[in-house]
Structure 1
Amino acid sequence: MIVVTGATGTVGRLVVDLLLQAGQKVTAITRDPATAELPGDAQVVRGDPSAPETLGSALDGAEAVLLSPRAVGNATGRLPALAADLRRAVVLSAATVEFPAGHPRFHAHFRAVEDAVTTSGLEWTFLRCADFAANALAWAPQIRATGIVRGAYGAAATSPVHQRDIAEVAVRALLDDGHAGRSYVLTGPQSLTQADKVRIIGSALGEELAFQEVSPEQVRQGMLAQGLPEEIPDRLLGSLADYAVQAGPTTDTVERLLGRPALTFADWAAEHAAAFRA
């Protein structure tokens, strides 16, 4: 049996689906099963991974776990003690652990999770992901309303990774031998600026979209006015400032592990075009 934390997240939900398709028994941890909309074949358990005592017997018989640091928080080191049969952990980490960008406190959190798993006695695999292609959904309201994305650091360049690629690699690492002790930097196949991403979304829509440069402080104040905590603009703007100076990494790891080319941002945009249409 495999336990998935962050089961309703962008990657976790796909991992649940893929594991079930592979005939695996899956326990999906969620804080609110009533709204999770997870597959009926999964055992959906109410619990908070950041407070392992709420998980009850959810980890009984678990052989492997997908750990989402944002779901587990600082409780990573306490999980193995609650699961006698657990032997393998796959961690959704960040490329910034290996290629630092942005405020150090954010990638330090991912490093702390990795360190806790390394000393847990479990077999471990770290998936150090670039920014998700799905992060571009934050632009959808602007694109639907005006066809213009107003943002800072338009020249900031990363190689956004499709969530399906992350999920497929995660399932390989959860099920197959040969990944223990490995750290994989997962990116998309092409380095793109923010302006490039907006243009590609426009191509998927058959429209001409524009990226309009505004100051970082304007972006910060706009996000705070929406009620977002300060952590969100700090995380976003800190990384973009660094990627405007030096592009984020581009690797061929997805292709090497899956035996097919990594999905492109254009692939992602075509699949999600409906989210951007007025």
Structure 2
Amino acid sequence: MSILVTGARGHVGRAVLDALIAAGQDVRAASRDATTLDVPDGVAKVSADLEDPSTLDAALDGVSAVFLYARPSGIEGFVKAAEAAGVRHVVLLSSGVTLEPQSAQSRLATLHRTVEQALIAAPFGETLLHPGAFAVNVLGWRKDIAAGVVRTAYPDSRVGAIHEQDMGDVAAKILADGSHVGEALPLSGPSAISFREQAEVLADVLGRPLRVEEEPPERAAERMAAALGWPPGVPQEVLRAWERTTREPSVVTDVVREVTGHAPRTFRQWAEDHRADFS
């Protein structure tokens, strides 16, 4: 039986795929258009679009476990197809936003919770991953960094930035051994680090000076919406969370170590791993 990794072109999906391959698992990479996937020789590629149920039966044939991104549109069709295929376990990349104090009023949390609830109600097992801030989001600074400046709202917001490979390692371990079924796991990096400190680490790793410039939240929201294509209101939700963590740093957990046996990677490790992305 194979393990299907959806969203294999994404940073986390590819990290899951690489970790499963390294562990010697029979793995299948999926994307909306499999022809766009660049995977190692011998790894099967399939097209799978949650919004097009006709693509799911073939993608799930012979699959025992699935790594899934949280996409509300089409989740009902996925559950039906997975049940019919005999899938036993789904590991969902959800979001730590569902754990925030104001999550009941959060559009972003509602979108993730819709997928969570569909999987919880499904006849197969599920594991929900709740990462906080992704270190890889710093790639959004590349143009600014090329100009020697990091522009961000709330530069002293302290977040538990997590390396995508740590998320990949956690998901791969759970998919491979079928553990943590029915659990929701909050994931973070090893410590809460501010955006200002992240810029300092990047300056050191890249060997170039970087100035931190605080921008108004309204401008930051506009830039986030343009760069990430988030629905209206979501950038403002994220910015409110950032403002709160200037006063109350994000919660840091040791779940990465508990699941994988290794310590979570530091932000410096992430910066060194992605040095070439800023050249």
- C-alpha distance in structure 2 between counterparts of 1:233 and 1:120, whole Å: 31
- Which residue number in structure 1 is paired with residue 56 of structure 2? 55
Matched, 1:251 2:253: yes
Q: Deviations over 1:58-79 (max 9, x none)?
A: 111111111111xx43322332
- Which residue number in structure 2 is paired with residue 215 of structure 1? 216
- C-alpha distance in structure 2 between counterparts of 1:108 and 1:250, whole Å: 23
Unmatched 5+ stretches in structure 2: none
- C-alpha distance in structure 1 between counterparts of 2:187 and 2:227, whole Å: 31
Q: Deviations over 1:112-148 (max 9, x none)?
A: 111110000111111111111100000011111x211
- Which residue number in structure 1 is paired with residue 80 of structure 2? 81
TM-score (ref. length: structure 1): 0.90
- Which residue number in structure 1 is paired with residue 32 of structure 2? 31
**Higher mean Cα deviation, 44-53 or 86-95?**
44-53
The one of 257, 260, 263 aligned to 1:261: 263
- C-alpha distance in structure 2 between counterparts of 1:73 and 1:194, whole Å: 30
Q: Residues 26 and 235 (structure 1 numbering): CA distance in 2 closer, same or farther, change over 3 Å?
A: farther
- Alpha-carbon contact 1:67-1:92 (below 8 Å) kept: yes
Q: How far is the alpha carbon of 1:200 from its aligned partner?
A: 0.9
Q: How far is the alpha carbon of 1:182 from its aligned partner?
A: 1.4
- Which residue number in structure 2 is paired with residue 120 of structure 1? 122
- Which residue number in structure 1 is paired with residue 139 of structure 2? 137
- Alpha-carbon contact 1:101-1:243 (below 8 Å) kept: no
The amino acid that maps onto 1:78 is G
Q: Deviations over 1:188-229 (max 9, x none)?
A: 011111111111111111223121111112223445666945
Aligned ranges 1:1-278 → 2 under 5 Å: 1-69=2-70, 72-83=71-82, 84-100=85-101, 104-144=106-146, 146-223=147-224, 228=229, 231=232, 233-234=235-236, 236-277=238-279
State the Cα RMSD in Å: 2.1
**Higher mean Cα deviation, 240-249 or 264-273?**
240-249
- Alpha-carbon contact 2:56-2:81 (below 8 Å) kept: no
TM-score (ref. length: structure 2): 0.90
- C-alpha distance in structure 1 between counterparts of 2:107 and 2:260, whole Å: 32
The amino acid that maps onto 1:141 is K
**Higher mean Cα deviation, 128-137 or 223-232?**
223-232
Q: Deviations over 1:61-113 (max 9, x none)?
A: 111111111xx433223323213311101011111212346860101111111
- Alpha-carbon contact 1:101-1:238 (below 8 Å) kept: no
Q: How far is the alpha carbon of 1:252 from its aligned partner?
A: 1.0
- C-alpha distance in structure 2 between counterparts of 1:119 and 1:156, whole Å: 36
Identical-pair percentage: 33
- C-alpha distance in structure 2 between counterparts of 1:49 and 1:221, whole Å: 29
Q: Residues 74 and 238 (structure 1 numbering): CA distance in 2 closer, same or farther, change over 3 Å?
A: farther
| Pairs aligned (count) | 274
- Alpha-carbon contact 1:77-1:117 (below 8 Å) kept: no
Q: Residues 177 and 25 (structure 1 numbering): CA distance in 2 closer, same or farther, change over 3 Å?
A: closer
Secondary structure, aligned partner of 1:127: strand
- Alpha-carbon contact 1:67-1:91 (below 8 Å) kept: yes
Secondary structure, aligned partner of 2:196: helix
- Alpha-carbon contact 2:50-2:73 (below 8 Å) kept: no
Q: Residues 223 and 168 (structure 1 numbering): CA distance in 2 closer, same or farther, change over 3 Å?
A: closer
- C-alpha distance in structure 2 between counterparts of 1:189 and 1:130, whole Å: 12
The amino acid that maps onto 2:262 is R
